[in-house]
Amino acid sequence: MPQSLDNLLVIGISSRALFDLETEEAIFRQHGLEEYRGHQLRNENEILKPGAGFALVKALLKLNRLTGQRFVEVVVMSRNSSETSMRIFNSIKHYGLDITRAVLSGGSSLAPYLHAFNVSLFLSLHEDDVQAAVNSGVAAALLYQKPENALEELEQIRIAFDGDAVIFSDESEKIYQTEGIEAFEKHERENALLPLPQGPFARLLLALSYIQNNFKNPDGHAAPIRTALVTARSSPAHERVIRTLRAWNVAIDETFFMGGIVKSDVLAAFKPHMFFDDHPDHCDRAAGKVQTGRVPWKQSGEFE
């Protein structure tokens, strides 16, 4: 009987985000496909080092083992051909990652295959692939290179989110961008009782909340997931956020209403496996301290 991915949190990740392939990327860009192909074939038994998304993937896959139930599926999505992919699979085996599915598109766009694999979140270091995923309606993030402490082992799976244009829609963010802070605060006061529409990462947050609520530990310990909302909002715009999360029946473990203060120090204290934000400035500052993924805004065009 065919297996279904419908009820799983499916993470699609590029091979370059899962493993450190920066040397190989440079070979491809400077010397072309044939040189890259030869390099990969000659080194297919050389194990790749962990990449920017490795720690998050390893942590999420750990949930399946801890719960005794399959909540998370990871699909490697690469523009490699099958011929040059053996090094990737050998590295997956070496690190004991429970990854059995892959898309090897042979240079073609990965976006058409995201819905086919029911991908909930796509992670990559290639901006074009990330933007195409966002335009096709899939939550996606462009990963920054990992900071030195990114692979630190933590007891909990920790994920931090920005609010507007990430967990929530960009409706209010657009008002702030086009009309300024006063118009934004007025809008949020007037709509404080109206839940914010879901943003691209709401599905991920809801899935994590479901796992937390349904985690059964025989030792009585809490679920091994901890979430944080780190938003530039402050009073009076805080009320709508709190009421929205109540309406979604989601309890964020830690919430920080920053009011425009730089987020990087709070993030360094929280130590997330990944922080998702849509603002390049916030991401640039955070990326030196915690693993960071930038969430592009959806563009109008062929995917509309």
Q: What is the DSSP letter of 133?
A: H
Cis peptide bond N-terminal to 280, omega within 30: no
- Sign (positive/negative) of CA torsion 299, 124, 140, 233? negative
CB 29 within 8 A of CB 139: no
CB 276 within 8 A of CB 143: no
Q: Which two tokens stand for residue 296?
A: 């592009």
Which position among 20, 129, 162, 278 bears the catalytic label?
A: 162
Q: Is 55 helix (H, G, I), strand (E, B) or coil?
A: helix
- Separation of alpha carbons 24 and 37, rounded Å: 9
Whether 277 is catalytic: no
- Separation of alpha carbons 2 and 276, rounded Å: 34
- Separation of alpha carbons 272 and 223, rounded Å: 16
- Separation of alpha carbons 111 and 259, rounded Å: 36
- 3-state helix/strand/coil string of 25-45: HHHHHHHCHHHHHHHHHHCCC
Q: Which helix (H) or strand (E) holds 241?
A: helix 238-248
| Positions marked active-site | 162
